[in-house]
Structure 1
């Protein structure tokens, strides 16, 4: 996919008639991304968010081209709650996808539920999981995920990176904690922008008319500096926006026809 009349490495905006079409085409995009990665290096590293992402992932279930045993799954952010808690991003992803596909449990990297009382230790232990997966293999300053899936909140936040928060400026840590999230639950851990922006592919997923003003703010007015607008993958990484027409109704930003 390439954007028309946009500087190199600009976000690619693809819009679909409805959420079902978005889900189907996103599943095809993920399937191709995992095939490319596995063919090249024998593994596929993906990081998932909460929000609407877990339900959208259901589109992957019928795809028999997916080599689940080569997936390594991480969470872009996670609420500091037990893994079976209703607020847990892991629980939502497990219920919507992992419980229905043959992915090895050892390949799904959750927070350590024994460390919920110590945010520093919890975020350090999650960072160590990233180091174990990436540092020996890639020797990069930051992990390079094959794909990161992001949502966007009504305030323009993404992951657990909120407007005006000091974590927006974090440049060293891979995983950081927050104990004052403006939306509950207050305690979370999150990837930092350097990790998100070193991925090979980052995809924002947004559907519904309630997203329409914020998408326009992020894509048409990046100078406002909203957290979602700070997602700018380092070349050759590429940022995609997968949206439905209702969410994209006010966007001036050019759309790109979807093709794999």
Structure 2
């Protein structure tokens, strides 16, 4: 089998710092500037709550450009098993891994765009009011009306600072919710690109048959194993974080 750059297990980590302002966190190191990663015990309690509810809650939003915010989402990553430790400095050492079919039915991979592309994004937002006026003039009798219509159409595309809030809201729907702003950089702490994030707009409800594994520090496994037994989900694989690091 050829070496893969992705995984067929989709992982959700439960130890990211609390209270992170995702509007300003444009790379992983920005996360640590705002908080401390949860310890194994707290992250294990979170994963047990997720298993009990059989639901990943869509509690996160991010700002794309001023006035354009994603819809609430939850997320997973498809990075290979061997690369899970690269996530732990920012998201902890506890994760729940989902099988591919239920994830691929509901989640979509994000589109990473660098901050340098923000002017391009703004320029792609038309002023719909000017556009409508221009098209109305073009439908007139020609001459001055046609020339003014062409001018307004050009102005609609070239003056994104004139965009009304209502126009911004029109483009801040489903598709823009899968855009993530981050720079591309060789240093992993300076880019989200390596994280291979997938998003679901809205909560993700799952069954225990959809869960492949839970990874956690060895000292947390007994507690998680008991919870899985109480839930009738003994088929879920338990893997120690120490094994992940040495694999």
TM range (shorter): under 0.3
Task: Name the structure with the higher helix share.
Answer: 2
Q: TM-score, structure 1 length as denominator?
A: 0.22
Structure with bigger gyration radius: 2
